[in-house]
Amino acid sequence: MKLPELIPGRLIKRYKRFLADIELEDGSVVTAHCPNSGSMLGCNLPGSPVLLSLSPNPNRKLAYTWELLQVNGFWVGLNTMLPNRLAEEAILDGTITELQGYPNLRREVAYGSERSRIDILLEGDGRRCYVEVKNVTLVEGGLALFPDAVTTRGQKHLRELMEMVRNGDRGVLLFTVQRGDGNAVAPADRIDPAYGSLLREAITNGVEALAYQALVQPDQIRLTERLAVVLD
């Protein structure tokens, strides 16, 4: 996925979840939209280098959007609107080999008894594969961890995927790691032990857990290689 030309700056602070004050290279300070509602644990250190996109829409309240942040020398993709697009691209171009063989791909399809919407539904020859995409930005000791805050919504998605498997379809949880220093993916049990427990239950009951790392650069983001999912 190609990115628009991005504008460098440094993070002053993130606040009210969706706002961040950024100092640009010329010393001016702008307030940017933060397209990430999570805690962004480990990704909000003041003084960190950041990259912003600039909207051409003159009527937009906040012209800038915070896209990338640098941590430990690696660019981190913060925009939670991108993982579904990254996953779709990687399925269509054959990068995610485990999700090939389905001629039809649909996004945001209603499913499940808890009235969720699946990120990606793959279909073909009477087969269905429900793919729930999760964005991973927290890394500790080389291990990419999800979630970075308690997520009842994420727990609901696991229950829905188990329901699809019981119905005879595939249910896949796809972790997209938007930074280069995560060598494997694991549940963040100290942050949300209930999610970790339910994830292990889901896998035991046939839900597949896949993880792919993204190459994150100032001009592009794309999924490149599979990572192990560690449950021990």
Q: Would the CA dihedral through 209, 99, 37, 20 be positive or negative?
A: positive
| pLDDT digits 0-9 by tens, 134-166 | 999 999 999 999 999 999 999 999 999 999 999
Q: Token digits for 65?
A: 């959007």
CA dist., res. 109 & res. 123, Å (int): 12
Q: Token digits for 57?
A: 């829409």
Q: Where are the beta strands (DSSP E) in the chain?
A: 7-15, 19-24, 29-33, 49-54, 64-71, 74-77, 104-111, 116-124, 127-136, 138-140, 143-146, 170-177, 184-187, 208-217, 220-229
| pLDDT value at residue 211 | 98
Closest CA to 19 of 35, 6, 4, 7: 35
| pLDDT value at residue 35 | 96
Q: Token digits for 213?
A: 């790392």
| pLDDT value at residue 196 | 98
Identity at 145, one-letter amino acid code: L
* Residues 224, 212 contacting (CB under 8 angstroms): yes
| pLDDT digits 0-9 by tens, 159-215 | 999 999 999 999 999 999 999 999 999 999 999 999 999 999 999 999 999 999 999
| pLDDT value at residue 30 | 98
Q: Would the CA dihedral through 92, 115, 198, 166 be positive or negative?
A: negative
Of the ranges 25-34, 110-119, 160-169, which one carries the lowest mean pLDDT score? 110-119
- Tokens 């039809």 found at: 104
| pLDDT value at residue 232 | 85
| pLDDT digits 0-9 by tens, 211-228 | 999 999 999 999 999 999
- Cα Dmax for the chain: 58
Q: Token digits for 232?
A: 């021990």
| pLDDT digits 0-9 by tens, 51-94 | 999 999 999 999 999 999 999 999 999 999 999 999 999 999 99
- Domains annotated for the chain, with CATH where assigned, are 7-77 (2.40.50.580), 83-229 (3.40.1350.60)
pTM of the full structure: 0.95
